[in-house]
Amino acid sequence: MSTLPTTDDRLKKRVPRITVYPNLVTQKKFWLQLYNIDECVFTVHLYSLNGEQVYKHFLNHTDFHSTHTVQLPWYIPRGIYKVAIRYGDNHYVQPIVID
């Protein structure tokens, strides 16, 4: 006999997920989708390929699931960058291309 997991069991096994899109950034903006993450403040860093931080932004995440728009300054040139997202003791890194 099998039993279905209760809602409490499923919530305990929730996996945090961060999605950054699009990978090819146009109009100097991209979006962050945050899933299964408790309320906290996120720090979004943008690094050039030589490791220089060229942008830093704070996001106040107040819902379990949310989407945030990150508008980059006009002076950031085209190129390949790394987006680093930090919250609490966690971090996420993804390359993006700015057109």
pLDDT digits (tens, 9 = 90+) for 67-92: 999 999 999 999 999 999 999 899 99
Amino acid letter, 28:
K
The answer to whether 87 touches 61, Cβ cutoff 8 Å, is yes
What is the band of 29 on the pLDDT scale with cuts at 50, 70, 90? Answer: very high
Tell which residue, 76, 53, 4, has the closest CA to residue 86. Answer: 53
Please give the share of the chain, as a percent, with pLDDT higher than 90.
78
Mean pLDDT throughout 5-24?
77
pLDDT at 66 over 80: yes
Tell which residue, 92, 68, 77, 66, has the closest CA to residue 28. Answer: 77
The answer to whether 78 touches 98, Cβ cutoff 8 Å, is yes
- Has domain 15-98 been given CATH number 2.60.40.3080? yes
| Domain spans in the chain, listed from the N-terminal domain onward | 15-98
